[in-house]
């Protein structure tokens, strides 16, 4: 499933690189969603990226951690903690994360006709943080160089995203990163609330 999402996102993004009209049609324009009811943009913007670097970074993270989520959901299925095929839960998390990560943006920029948002960052953040939830002490590479525990990376990521959403003017949708990440941490608990206890057990296991 991860490979399908990576391929689909990559194909759509590359098409949009060379087709500005398609890029505009699929991007998230809050006024057009709120006032013109072009609701498809809430989903389609996650399959469009601003440039090659934006696309490559998101797809590397999705490919790396998406397979981890597939493993964890399969494990829950084998244990009988979820009822349906694991891929359905993966897709439910991914697409609902796109929506949840967009809500603040839609509200904040509902009357900003010059604003456009693109990218899978909200959903990718959800995938990454769901992996952190299942294994909080796994080592992640901070800035692709420094290995640190996932839970520490997560705290730093949330702090940075929240701070930048209030102070930055860098055209990056930090709100999507922040809310996507929180949603990714919450989704496993929504599926099976006792998992929250296991999460805290893992947190204190190193003490």
Q: What is the pLDDT of residues 155-167, one digit of tens each?
A: 999 998 888 888 7
Highest mean pLDDT of the ranges 152-161, 178-187, 189-198: 178-187
Tokens of 103: 């809500």
pLDDT at residue number 28: 94
Tokens of 29: 């324009």
Number of domains in the chain: 1
Tokens of 45: 């913007």
pLDDT at residue number 142: 61
* CB distance 68 to 131 below 8 Å: yes
Please, which pLDDT band fits residue 127 given cuts at 50, 70 and 90? very high
Beta strands in 137-199 (DSSP E): 139-142, 146-149
More confident position, 127 or 201 = 127
- List Cα–Cα distances, 142 to 95, 146, 150, in angstroms: 26, 5, 9
* CB distance 90 to 146 below 8 Å: no
* CB distance 86 to 111 below 8 Å: no
pTM for the full predicted model: 0.91
Among 80, 58, 43, residue whose Cα is nearest residue 6: 58
pLDDT at residue number 71: 93
CATH number at residue 160: 1.20.1540.10
| Domain membership of residue 118 as a residue range | 2-204
Is 20 buried (19+), middle (13-18) or exposed (0-12) by CB count in 10 A?
Answer: exposed
Pairwise CA distance, residues 207 & 205, whole Å: 6
Please, which pLDDT band fits residue 143 given cuts at 50, 70 and 90? low
| Helix/strand/coil for 171 | coil
- The predicted model gives 95-120 an average pLDDT of 93
Q: What's the distance, Cα to Cα, between the start and end of the chain in Å?
A: 36
Q: Above 70 in pLDDT, residue 172?
A: yes
Mean residue pLDDT across the chain: 91
- The predicted model gives 20-44 an average pLDDT of 95
Find the farthest-apart pair of alpha carbons in the chain and give their distance in angstroms, rounded: 55
Tokens of 55: 């696309």
Pairwise CA distance, residues 40 & 26, whole Å: 8
pLDDT at residue number 29: 93
pLDDT at residue number 167: 74
More confident position, 205 or 107 = 107
At 38-76, the pLDDT tens digits run 999 999 999 999 999 999 999 999 999 999 999 999 989
* CB distance 59 to 9 below 8 Å: yes
């Amino acid at each position: 499933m991860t490979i399908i999402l990576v391929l689909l996102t990559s194909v759509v993004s590359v098409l949009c690189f060379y087709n500005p009209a398609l890029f505009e049609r699929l991007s998230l324009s809050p006024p057009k969603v709120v006032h013109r009811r072009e609701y498809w943009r809430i989903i389609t913007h996650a399959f469009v990226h601003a440039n090659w670097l934006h696309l490559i970074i998101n797809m590397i993270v999705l490919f790396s951690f998406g397979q981890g989520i597939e493993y964890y959901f399969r494990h829950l299925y084998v244990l009988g903690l979820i009822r349906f095929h694991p891929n359905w839960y993966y897709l439910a998390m991914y697409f609902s994360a796109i929506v949840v990560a967009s809500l603040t943006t839609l509200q904040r920029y509902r009357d900003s006709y010059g604003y456009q948002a693109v990218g899978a960052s909200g959903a990718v953040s959800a995938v990454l943080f769901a992996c952190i939830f299942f294994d909080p002490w796994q080592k992640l590479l901070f800035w692709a160089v420094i290995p640190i525990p996932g839970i520490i990376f997560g705290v730093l990521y949330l702090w940075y995203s929240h701070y930048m959403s209030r102070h930055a003017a860098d055209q990056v949708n930090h709100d999507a990163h922040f809310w996507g990440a929180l949603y990714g941490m919450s989704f496993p608990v929504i599926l099976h609330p006792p998992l929250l206890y296991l999460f805290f057990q893992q947190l204190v296991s190193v003490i």
